[in-house]
Chains A and B, each alone.
Chain A
Amino acid sequence: MIGWPPFGLAARILCACCVLVAPLAVAQDTARRSGYQDMGRSLQAMQDDDMANPAMLWVQEGAALWTRRAGSADKSCADCHGDVGGMAGVAARYPAFAAGLGRPVDLEQRINLCRTDKQKADALADESRELLALAAYVARQSRGRPIAPPDDARLQPFIAAGDALYRRRQGQLNLSCAQCHDDNAGRKLGGATIPQAHPTGYPIYRLEWQGLGSLKRRLRNCLVGMRAEAYGYDAPEYVALELFLLSRARGMTLESPAVRP
């Protein structure tokens, strides 16, 4: 599988693509498409069948973690939240504003707040198996629901910051997210179809990763592909971009945990 970002050939194709991109700010397709619709039938079938979707291995692990006590509070997620069914709809409205912090947090960060503040345990590492398993288990409860960003005025400045980041050219290739995902969505970049970048399936099982990964990891991959410096894992830029993408995908169906090439 020759995926994009890994460099070599892909990077050279990218350079050709910049030349092509600049003068070509063509009218964009107004119909929104999930990355799911841009995948081949066999990958769609893999995502649709819980028995074939490898992300379900993480969901299974998340179910075990949900009832496992942790930290000096010696409490499990279930001790406070009860049945995981109560999490239905939650993933569809994250990132959300965390009043205590005065800023928005994404689902993984929200889970880690419960780890540190409620369970009195150490935060789980970014992209760790456990954190992804819990995120997948919680997100699975919202599958089929419409993406519903919170109507929260406090989020506005962060969405605006994400919007600006999305349109800002950056990196050695001097590209913006919008140049690929708005202006050239549906076209090819190497072997990949450029999707519209809707966060409909996170965390995703990505074939190129041979594993599960968060939206943040996906964004880091795009930044590296643009030859921009990826922000640190706890940088506010990711949450701003995630919020902007969420507001842009309002009403689209959540597929989590999805499969992507």
Chain B
Amino acid sequence: MGHALVNVPASVKRGDAFEIKALIAHPMETGFRPGPNGVLLPRNIIQRFTCTYNGVEVFSLTLSPAIAANPYIAFFTVATESGSLTLRWTGDKDFMAEETVPITVTA
């Protein structure tokens, strides 16, 4: 469920900061909007985003209903070792999406 676009540089020098950009398809329904029949549409948002780098959490974010649909999240981390980054989005209605991307760290 859920599809995402993730972008990291193919290779980074050890010790350098690099940017991770992630875009995910999600309605981010606030729970405050009435539907066509006047009844509130149930809240359906991503609640949490985490990024682990070789198993270590390097970034996390708690999302709120005020965040627009299809959230775009960009952040930096420092290159340590080659390996992989795992991005994970979880939320209402058991929403779960996970993307793993490789990263090559050069000396």
Which residues of the other chain, A, contact B77 by a CB distance below 8 angstroms?
none
A52 and B3 contact, CB distance less than 8 A = no
With contacts A56-B5, A57-B3, A60-B3 known, is A210 near B68, CB below 8 A? yes
Smallest CB-CB separation from B6: which chain A residue?
A51
Interface 0/1 of A52-77, CB less than 8 Å to B: 10101100110000000000000000
Smallest CB-CB separation from A49: which chain B residue?
B21
Q: How many A-B residue pairs have CB under 8 A?
A: 33
Q: How large is the interface on A (under 10, 10 to 19, 20 to 34, 35 or more residues)?
A: 10 to 19
Which residues of the other chain, B, contact A54 by a CB distance below 8 angstroms?
23, 69-70, 72
- 8 Å CB contacts to A: which residues of B1-23? 3-5, 7, 21, 23
Smallest CB-CB separation from B28: which chain A residue?
A210
A51 and B5 contact, CB distance less than 8 A = yes
30 contacts between A and B (CB under 8 A): A51-B5, A51-B7, A51-B21, A51-B23, A51-B72, A52-B23, A52-B72, A52-B74, A54-B23, A54-B69, A54-B70, A54-B72, A56-B5, A56-B23, A57-B3, A57-B4, A57-B5, A57-B23, A57-B24, A57-B25, A57-B70, A60-B3, A60-B5, A61-B3, A207-B68, A210-B28, A210-B68, A210-B69, A210-B70, A211-B69
Besides the known contacts A52-B23, A60-B5, A210-B27, 13 further A-B residue pairs in the complex with CB atoms under 8 A apart:
A51-B5, A51-B21, A51-B23, A51-B72, A52-B72, A54-B69, A54-B72, A56-B5, A57-B3, A57-B23, A60-B3, A211-B69, A211-B70
Which 4 pairs between the two chains have the least Cβ-Cβ distance?
A210-B69, A54-B70, A51-B21, A51-B7
